[in-house]
Amino acid sequence: MSKMRRSERIVRLTQILLEHPHRVLSLTEMAEKLASAKSSLSEDLAIIRDVMEAEGLGTLETQAGAAGGVRYVPGLRADLAEQFVQQVAQRLCSGDRILPGGFLYMSDVLGQTDVLDTAGKMFASRFREAGAEFVVTVETKGIPLAVATAKYLNVPMVIVRRDHKVTEGSSVSVNYVSGSRRIQTMSLSRRSLPERTKVLIIDDFMKAGGTAKALADLMREFQVEVVGVGVFISTIDPLDKMIDNYVSLATLSEMNEATREVAITPGTYFA
């Protein structure tokens, strides 16, 4: 490959870094790939890091030395995160969304790629030091959020099923009592998680926390450590959840079926 000009190198480096968050990329390998000197690469990376930091989009961590490498650590500046939650709240705060039984319709919002992408960045940014080796969710509505978070943390994503499936092989199941007081089941394929790993739990909604607690119980069966719990929206009531230390992006602070009023405020992420 012929030598690249700086501007070409910067396009390629930016692209490689953005597409591989949280992966340490070897400077030696990149220098070979781009047919450039490591010193030029270091200057390029400094420019990229400065722009990322100025725009509040994360940073680059570089390790010096012969085995030197660089890693893109996604982030989202606090004001951009707040702006995002305000936009989501605006969309969700509509009386039309209140369903019989006091549920809030939010499937459309959780299908928007921009929403998923930003939420994934926020979770990945908050839990970047937690050491999660997998992102775990339970079907169904939390899956897209788990996909986006796993992407920005560069770890695989694991889906817990509501019942045992023939396509999953031998599985471990637990029962729990859901918010609607029914006994429910969760089931996870034995092959899906190695023992003694660390996981981050991601879900779309938390009321009392029964689902998250059941997920944590299931993880214990796998001898797996839960290093964090992230939910898109948690309800203000009950204040005492069955899980401590969860991170929610937004709080459903009011939903009145009679007056059709919905209020959504920033979540524990901002506390």
The piece of 8-16, 76-84, 125-133, 254-262 that touches a second copy (CB under 8 A) is: 8-16
- If binding is defined by CB under 8 A, does position 268 make contact with a second copy? no
Smaller CB separation from a second copy, 57 or 270: 57
Smaller CB separation from a second copy, 44 or 122: 44
Start-to-end CA span in the chain (Å): 50
Applying CB under 8 A, which of residues 90, 94, 140, 175 lies at the interface with a second copy? 140
- If binding is defined by CB under 8 A, does position 29 make contact with a second copy? no
Cα-based distances in Å from 127 to 114, 182, 226, 268: 20, 32, 12, 13
DSSP code at position 222: T
Kindly write out the interface string for residues 49-78 of this chain, putting x where it contacts a second copy by CB under 8 A and - elsewhere: -xxx--x-x---------------------
Contact 74, 122 (CB under 8 A): no
Contact 221, 236 (CB under 8 A): no
- If binding is defined by CB under 8 A, does position 111 make contact with a second copy? yes
**Alpha carbon 97 to chain centroid, angstroms:** 25
Residue 255, strand partner residues? 262
In whole angstroms, the minimum distance from the beta carbon of 66 to a second copy comes to 27
**Residue 125 three-state SS:** helix
Nearest CA to 52 out of 25, 6, 14 is that of 14
For binding to a second copy (CB under 8 A), which residues are involved?
A: 6-8, 10-12, 14-15, 18-19, 44, 47-48, 50-52, 55, 57, 99-101, 103-105, 107-108, 111-113, 116-117, 139-141, 143-144, 147-148, 150-151, 154-159, 161, 166-169, 189, 191-192
